[in-house]
Homo-oligomer: A and B are copies of this chain.
């Protein structure tokens, strides 16, 4: 049975896409989004641990009737683009091999996000493809849209940086951030599929806690991007785990380099994000259900009573925080409508 035939395509595909690492939470979701995409053909899905399993038995809701296979880089043929959903470290060599075959790559790992090798090595260890380090485009679509249209390798941002930078970008671009506290919260899908005691349902229900309180590797990534936008400010960052599966909230408290009023900052945000198909500036605080299983980012900004700018962004951590943002970028790389397959 040619199950691929069931994929609901509008005419000729714009690209044949490989999803590598499709048995994890973000890879499985990327495969589904490509499967339902009207212009992309899901050509292959691979997994080291679950080769031989059909994806719709691993993730029944996704309804992708394809079998996971082991990735054989010597036999990758007829692939135009790849989404790589490997852990950091493991991703880089595979990304390099795919690029050698001239395949467009959207990498969901941390391997190409940072621009300073010392910082990378401090947080992630030795890099697996140093010749490519710094060669990717940072895939926060709303900030790097034009470069993404020309990109061959895209480093999809971490989920926390996606929410945090979208919550702060309009300020950062004006050089307004003097310092900022970012408190982030995320559901358990952020832990990945591997189970341990801390994500046992019995441990997590009716629970919540901060973690990585001495330093999380997404902090330097957030600082890098705020600086790139115009605000080289120190970021205090602490993530929290919440008893829900998908969803992420960044609550940000910024001291500004000059006073701004609530009206000014709300106007600034509305202007900056006007026309953005996936960022909505709300009239009040965002909530996680409103963005669940969408590529949306909901943003709210205000000024608290002592004058600190307080901004909030809500996303789905494995959609806009990973897989659907990856497809948003792939759309740009392929010259497709940025929203294709994502509404």
Contacts and interface: CB of A to CB of B under 8 A. Distances in A.
A258 interface: no
A288 B208 contact: yes
Contact of A242 (B61, B235, B242, B306): B242
B200 A290 contact: no
Contacts of A187: 202, 206
**Which 7 pairs between the two chains have the least Cβ-Cβ distance?**
A60-B290, A209-B287, A195-B195, A188-B201, A234-B306, A201-B204, A183-B183
Interface string A300-338: 101011101010101000000000000000000000000
A60 B298 CA distance: 10
A198 B25 CA distance: 14
Candidate in A179, A193, A204 with the most chain B CB atoms within 10 angstroms: A204
Given A242-B243, A251-B210, A203 B61 contact: no
Contact of A245 (B25, B60, B201, B238): B201
A200 B188 contact: yes
A74 interface: no
A240 interface: yes
Given A179-B306, A195-B196, A206-B206, 13 more contacts: A60-B298, A188-B202, A199-B201, A199-B202, A200-B201, A205-B245, A207-B289, A210-B249, A210-B251, A213-B304, A214-B304, A236-B306, A238-B310
A236 B205 contact: no
Contacts of A158: none
Contacts of A249: 208-210, 240
Nearest to A206: B244
A83 to B, nearest CB: 21
Interface string A36-62: 000000000000000000000000110
A156 interface: no
A336 to B, nearest CB: 15
Contacts of A235: 306
Contacts of A240: 185, 249, 251
Nearest to A309: B236
A205 B206 contact: yes
A181 interface: yes
Interface string A232-266: 00111110101111110101010000000000000
B181 A294 contact: no
11 contacts: A60-B298, A188-B200, A199-B200, A201-B204, A207-B244, A208-B288, A209-B286, A210-B285, A210-B286, A219-B305, A240-B251
Given A188-B201, A200-B201, A251 B236 contact: no
A236 B304 contact: yes
Contact of A285 (B213, B244, B302): B213
Nearest to A304: B236
Contact of A202 (B25, B61, B205, B306): B25
A91 to B, nearest CB: 22
B202 A245 contact: yes
A26 interface: no
Contacts of A306: 179, 234-236
Given A187-B202, A245-B201, A209 B285 contact: yes
